Homo-oligomer: A and B are copies of this chain.
Amino acid sequence: MSLKRRVFVVGAGMTRFHHKMHSGKSGRELFVEAALEAFSNVDKGIDRKDVEGVFTGYFTPTYYEHQGHIGPLVVDWAGLDNVMGWRTESACASSSAALITGVLAIASGLFDVVMVGGVEKMTELPTEKVTDALSVAADDDYEIPAGVTFPGQFALIAQVYFKKYGVSWEQLQSIPIKNHRNGKLNPKAQFQEEIIDRARKIGRERGLNFRDELDFLKSDYNRVVAWPLRLFDCSPISDGASATILASDEKCRDFTDTPIEVAGFGFATDTISLHDRTNYTSFKASVEAGKQAYKMAGVKPRDIDIAEVHDCFSIAEAIAIEDLGFFNRGEGVKASEEGRTAIKGEKPVNTSGGLKCKGHPVGATGTAMVYEVWKQLRGEAGPRQVQNAETGLTHNLGGSGASCSVIIFKR
């Protein structure tokens, strides 16, 4: 498993992720916004005609926009013409699949320049219909008829994790608290506030005085979604798009003096139904995709300077940082509590704010993680910059772990 040709990121863009501000815009328009930023972020400029392929992740466009055939649609709207392009779908990992497709197109020798990205326009539907659209990432023959939604699945996982490792829900809150702290520093994030800011605001409005973040998170203002998970354990419903421009070893320096290498990647699958698994506190697809990526990149977990991981629910971040080998089993939550995953910690995780605070427009999430890693490895992450970040990782889970991609980038 070694590629015939090296591949580099030479530009990236994303819309702000949000639940209201993109009202009235279509998915294709959001994609164009992200693509235009990606083009404009190419240091030495790029001619759109250089792009030979466009691969786009979008999980359920048919539900949100009564629209399929996304591949040619975004090619046309992005002002490109006559290029190869289609949609990739692997639930929440859809645009990571697009990115790997783009990498393969270049590594195979077929192309020199490719755009990959993703989009999801979720907020035009009422919440219950969004829940329905998301549910098709689970098994409709076995899981959905039993009433299991994703908050329910991750709630089960959290309960097993708590019992197995003697961890409490209160301790788990260190993860969303940290991610909101980071997201406040990210102009692309859906929520640009810390949880304590929200607590104070609600306190003022209702004449209440929350002692601290946990006091607020334990209150009725943080309602239970699926026990033990509450609202702030869950990523929001969001609109957004993201795009990344890839180039070959030979061409990348035509576009930038600081290309970021796609040094390794893995993508693995597992049973779609939870009931077919033997372990609820680890995702086999994450572990396997991680192994493949580390091997291809020739690095170890300790070499990763920053990571964007799939915190669709708070518990998922704890499991991800264990599955990726950053921390021992059962110590992910403790590591967060101790600040080891904070921007200034030894292993900064989700400096962007993560899915929880940055938002989670499903199809856009994979390449939005790449956007953050690209910014960080170029030293352009502003107030949330991690010093001397040279190696970054994105971890993108589909559904409750039936698919997972891990991609490693090097400066």
Q: Give residues in A with beta carbon < 8 Å to B.
A: 1-5, 26, 28, 54, 59-63, 65-73, 75-76, 82-91, 93-94, 97, 100-101, 103-105, 107-111, 133, 136-141, 144, 266-272, 276, 284-285, 288, 398-399, 402-403
**A86 & B86 in contact (Cβ 8 Å cutoff):** no
Contact (Cβ within 8 A) B107 A69: no
Find out whether the CB atom of B69 lies under 8 angstroms from the CB atom of A91. yes
Evaluate contact between B140 and A65: CB separation under 8 angstroms: yes
Q: Please judge, given known A-B contacts A1-B110, A288-B82, whether A398 and B105 are in contact too, CB under 8 Å.
A: no
**A270: which of B72, B89, B288, B399 is its contact (CB, 8 Å)?**
B72
- The answer, among B4, B68, B88, for a CB contact under 8 Å with A108, is B4
Q: List 19 A-B contacts (CB under 8 A).
A: A1-B109, A4-B4, A59-B68, A66-B144, A68-B89, A68-B136, A69-B89, A69-B138, A69-B403, A76-B402, A82-B288, A85-B269, A86-B89, A86-B403, A103-B108, A104-B104, A104-B108, A104-B110, A107-B110
CB pair A70 B86 closer than 8 Å: no
Knowing that A76-B269, A82-B268 are A-B contacts, what are 20 other residue pairs whose CB atoms are under 8 Å apart, sorted by A's residue number? A1-B110, A2-B109, A26-B141, A62-B133, A68-B91, A69-B89, A69-B91, A71-B97, A72-B90, A72-B270, A72-B402, A72-B403, A73-B139, A82-B270, A83-B269, A85-B90, A101-B101, A107-B108, A107-B109, A108-B108
Point out the residues of chain B lying under 8 angstroms from A87, CB to CB.
88-90
Residues in chain B near residue A103, CB distance under 8 A:
108
B4 touches A109 (CB 8 A): yes
Residues of B within 8 A of A83 (CB): 268-269
In whole angstroms, what is the CA distance A259 to B271 when docked? Answer: 32
The 8 Å CB contact of A86, one of B68, B71, B97, is B97
**What CA separation (Å) do A1 and B140 show in the bound complex?**
41
Q: How close is A145's CB to chain B, nearest CB, in angstroms?
A: 10
User: Cβ of B69 and Cβ of A399 under 8 Å apart?
Assistant: yes
Q: Check B269 against A402 for contact (C-beta < 8 Å).
A: no
Q: Chain B nearest CB: distance from A102 CB in Å?
A: 10
Assembly CA distance A399 to B73 (angstroms): 11
Q: Taking each of A109, A133, A138, which has the highest tally of chain B beta carbons within 10 Å of its own beta carbon?
A: A109
Most chain B Cβ neighbours within 10 Å, of A75, A144, A288, A399: A75
For the complex, give the distance between the alpha carbons of A86 and B403 in Å. 8
| Bound Cα distance from A71 to B285, whole angstroms | 13
- Contacts A87-B89, A136-B67 known; A72 to B107 CB distance under 8 Å? no
In the complex, what's the smallest C-beta–C-beta distance from A395 to chain B, in angstroms?
A: 15
Give Cα A16–Cα B143 distance, bound, in whole angstroms: 29
A133 to B133, CA, bound (A): 15
A136 with B66, Cβ < 8 A, contacts A86-B89, A88-B88 known: yes
Measured between alpha carbons, how far is A331 from B87 in the docked complex, in Å?
Answer: 35
> How many angstroms from the CA of A68 to the CA of B272 in the assembled complex?
11
CB of A319 to closest CB in B, whole Å: 18
List the 6 closest pairs (A to B, CB-CB), nearest first.
Answer: A68-B136, A107-B108, A72-B269, A86-B90, A72-B402, A4-B4
